[in-house]
Amino acid sequence: MRLFHGGTLALLALLLAGPALAVPRIIPGFIGGAISTPLTVPDGACGTTPTIAFTSEATLGWYRSAAGYMALCGGRLVLPAGTAPLPSLTWLTELDTGLYLQGLNAFGASTNGQLRFLFVDNHLRGGSATTIQFSSAVDPSTAVGDLWLQRGSASILHLTADGASAGAAIGGFEQTAPAAPAANGYRLYAQDNGAGKTQLCVIFASGVAQCFATQP
């Protein structure tokens, strides 16, 4: 409902105060159909009086939980499925980056409108162009990763330095012999040879282990 008053247009909100009684109140800041000043509401509280609530469920809603924080009280936030270019959970400054529902029991993480990682049931998938980078900095946003893990050709996994052809070393420490793997499998490990030297060994599905290199 709109009301002309003193040459300005004020927006009236009807607050129901009973089954049949409507009490009109002018909401400050609404002039000429637009908000001229911020609309200020109480902080509210979870479980009793959230700031924005519902007639049929007064304890469900939004409220100010702390400085700079708005929280949902008494329920779940349900989002549409979304897509990789238009993810459901996103950011105002970059609307093509975020999370969305890919399908049954699967959700995707997209950047620049492209699916990068897909979480399906109990595993994580990456595309052919996906790389995992490890940075030498504590905060990975401050430095480009200098160790890359990426898919090569079929059934090949590459570990490279700076994503180039430069190789990278894989290190480890001595341990006791691991359990034998399943059929057609193998496990590499290092152990002490009993004389203080490190040996590189492999154990096969048969349970037989062979050591092929010993520390000089």
* CB 35 within 8 Å of CB 29: yes
Predicted local distance difference test score (pLDDT) of residue 96: 95
Mean pLDDT of the chain: 80
Is it the case that residue 17 has pLDDT exceeding 90?
A: no
% of the chain exceeding 90 in pLDDT = 44
Stretch 116-121: mean pLDDT, rounded? 93
Count CB atoms within 10 A of the CB of residue 188: 12
The mean pLDDT of 103-112, rounded to a whole number, is 94
The full DSSP string for 125-145 is EE-TT-EEEE-SSSSGGGS--
Domain segments of the chain as ranges: 2-35, 44-78, 89-126, 133-160, 171-216
| Mean local confidence (pLDDT), 15-24 | 36
Decide if pLDDT at 33 tops 60: no
Local structure of 141: helix, strand or coil: helix
- For the cut 50, the answer to whether the pLDDT of residue 9 exceeds it is no
pLDDT digits (tens, 9 = 90+) for 55-86: 898 889 999 999 989 999 988 889 999 999 99
153 alpha-carbon distance from chain centroid: 29
Lowest mean pLDDT among 45-49, 105-109, 194-198: 45-49
Percentage, residues of the chain above pLDDT 70: 80
Per-residue pLDDT at 136 exceeds 50: yes
Task: Record the pTM.
Answer: 0.62
Report how far residue 185's alpha carbon sits from residue 181's, in angstroms, rounded to the nearest whole number: 5
